[in-house]
Amino acid sequence: MPKRSGVVSDPRAPGAVSERDIVPRSPSRRDFIRGSLAFAGGALATGGAMVAGTGIARAAALPVPPSNQSMGRPIPQQMYGMPSKYEAHVFRERSSVFKNRQNFSDWSMTPLQHQTGIITPNGLNFERHHAGTPDIDPATHRLVIHGMVKQPLVFTMEDITRYPSVSKFYFLECSGNTLTDWTKAASPTVQQSHGLLSCTQWTGIPVSWLLDEAGLLPGAKWVAFEGADGSGHTRSIPIEKVLDDCLLVYGQGGEMLRPEQGYPLRLFIPGWEGNVSVKWLRRIKVGDQPWHFRSETARYTDPMPGGKWRQFSFVMECKSVITNPSGGMKLKGPGLYEILGFAWSGRGKITAVDVTVDGGRNWQEAQLEEPVFDKCLTRFRFRWKWDGSPAVIASRAVDSTGYVQPTVEQIGKVRALTGFVQHHNGIFPWAINSAGEVKNAVA
């Protein structure tokens, strides 16, 4: 496990914000806001005047906009709401780095740079399919449980939704997230480098409840979950994890699952690589050993030193990334900025995030924003005074087990970084040049 080192509180460190610069927490953030506006054009600074003899500042009158002078759109009788037309630049996007030649076994990525808070809007959760998106009628869908159980069972969706439900906040990350950027700067934006990541509230029932109904036989150690899509995607999961916190979910982000997220029913395994949370779930089989499906031999395995391959590398290790500023953005000039990002861990809660603005020579602790949940995205913030000179920024997360997000060099000492390598949780840098342009700084 990498050790956390080099965290400094020295205000003389490059880019450090001194005690004088540190803005008190809400409600007073005036210094930071004033500093930001100063280099942004000073709109407020030049838009007002002092009232003679009173010491009171008065803002210049704003022009009355057309929206104040007419009725808005009428309220429809029925509709499903959509984002403002001025947010049309926010969308899921297929990879522009690793392009597939077909449209069915592919993925589209979440625009993390535009996400506010820790919850990903349902329409922006990343997609990963092995045979396209099926449309399944919940009225005819069935889930069967069989294998090493006392009595096989078949459930309708109505049966499942009659159980008392639970709702949990968890992140979901594909094991292939960031795989194109191990040793070269391939992805231009954080959406392309880290966008196989989402976070939402999942609603359903624990898998253990239905296994209790079926009754496990002695010797049951593994459980196979199979989807109803064209690929019949299937994974073997140790029964300890299944009984611990795995869910059968039909709700996501306050609505029923969307088709691309597994409608009407999917498995959800907190903290583990996304492909094990089998979508469009139709079958659960209990056994005494793993099945070694194609997804566990030809796919979702990791190259190791000596030519060996690692199976069942389920856990998504502690990881973080700066989302603002990030690739493709441009700073407007020297001054105060708030560096924003996400941190997460499949082993527990995030306990700290360090930020460097000098390429890793010095690290300073960022502020974690509440709420901080187990196996959930955590937002971090770091106030930085940029002096206009070139800089390399990055983040480093620590989780509740004490695990410290490693560098790529540290990962390379225990794994073979060659070919289609997954589980990239290394520290990820962005470079800012003197013009304020932000670019991928891997290698």
- Top pLDDT among 14 and 299 is at 299
pLDDT of res. 276:
98
pLDDT of res. 48:
61
Chain segment 199-210, per-residue pLDDT in tens: 999 999 999 999
- Top pLDDT among 420 and 256 is at 256
The whole-angstrom separation of Cα 110 and Cα 125 is: 6
pLDDT band with cut points at 50, 70 and 90 for residue 29 = low
* Of 308, 306, 307, 320, residue with least CA distance to 356: 320
pLDDT of res. 83:
96
pLDDT of res. 37:
52
Chain segment 74-88, per-residue pLDDT in tens: 999 999 999 999 999
pLDDT band with cut points at 50, 70 and 90 for residue 9 = low
pLDDT at 13 over 60: no
pLDDT at 211 over 90: yes
Chain segment 263-286, per-residue pLDDT in tens: 999 999 999 999 999 999 999 999
Q: Are 360 and 155 in contact (CB under 8 A)?
A: no
pLDDT at 95 over 50: yes
Q: What is the mean pLDDT of residues 409-434?
A: 95
Q: What is the mean pLDDT of residues 211-238?
A: 97
Q: What is the mean pLDDT of residues 172-179?
A: 97
Show the 3-state SS of the chain.
Answer: CCCCCCECCCCCCCCCCCCCCCCCCCCCCHHHHHHHHHHHCCHHHHCEEEECCCCEEEECCCCCCHHHCCCCCCCCCCCCCCCCHHHCCCCCEECCCCCCCCCCCCEEECCHHHCCCCCCCHHHCCEECCCCCCCCCCCCCEEEEEECECCCEEEEHHHHHCCCCEEEEEEEECCCCCCCCCCCCCCCCHHHHHCCEEEEEEEEEEHHHHHHHHCECCCCCEEEEEECCCCCCEEEEEHHHHHHHCEEEEEECCEECCHHHCCCCEEECCCECHHHCCCCEEEEEEECCCCCCHHHCCCCCEECHHHCEECCCCECCCEEEEEECCCCCECCCCEEEEEEEEEECCCCCEEEEEEECECCCCEEECEEECCCCCCCCEEEEEEEEECCCCEEEEEEEEECCCCECCCHHHHHCCCCCCCCCCCCCCCCCEEECCCCEEEECCC
pTM of the model: 0.91
Q: What is the mean pLDDT of residues 337-364?
A: 98
pLDDT of res. 33:
56
Which residues neighbour 333 within 8 Å (Cβ) at sequence distance 6 or greater? 39, 388, 436
pLDDT of res. 140:
98
- In angstroms, what CA-CA distances link 418 with 296, 299, 302? 19, 15, 10
pLDDT of res. 267:
98
pLDDT band with cut points at 50, 70 and 90 for residue 51 = low
Torsion of CA 140, 144, 150, 151, to 10 degrees: 20
pLDDT at 52 over 80: no
pLDDT band with cut points at 50, 70 and 90 for residue 28 = very low
pLDDT of res. 15:
53
The whole-angstrom separation of Cα 106 and Cα 404 is: 31
Chain segment 299-331, per-residue pLDDT in tens: 899 999 999 999 999 999 999 999 999 999 999
- In angstroms, what CA-CA distances link 309 with 276, 291, 299, 375? 18, 17, 11, 27
Structure tokens of 419?
């070919």
- Burial code of 366-382, b = ≥16 C-beta within 10 A, e = fewer? bebeeebbbbbbbbbeb
On average, the pLDDT of the chain sits at 91
pLDDT at 102 over 50: yes
The whole-angstrom separation of Cα 172 and Cα 189 is: 20
Pairing of strands 107-109, 222-227: unpaired
Q: What is the mean pLDDT of residues 360-388?
A: 98
The whole-angstrom separation of Cα 16 and Cα 356 is: 10
Chain segment 32-42, per-residue pLDDT in tens: 555 555 444 44
pLDDT at 168 over 90: yes
pLDDT band with cut points at 50, 70 and 90 for residue 44 = very low
The whole-angstrom separation of Cα 19 and Cα 23 is: 8
User: Is the peptide bond preceding residue 2 cis, with omega within 30 degrees of 0?
Assistant: no
For residue 149, the number of C-alpha atoms closer than 13 Å in the C-beta half-sphere is 22
The whole-angstrom separation of Cα 249 and Cα 280 is: 10
pLDDT of res. 57:
80
pLDDT at 20 over 50: no
Which residues neighbour 348 within 8 Å (Cβ) at sequence distance 6 or greater? 374, 375, 399, 400, 401
pLDDT of res. 420:
82
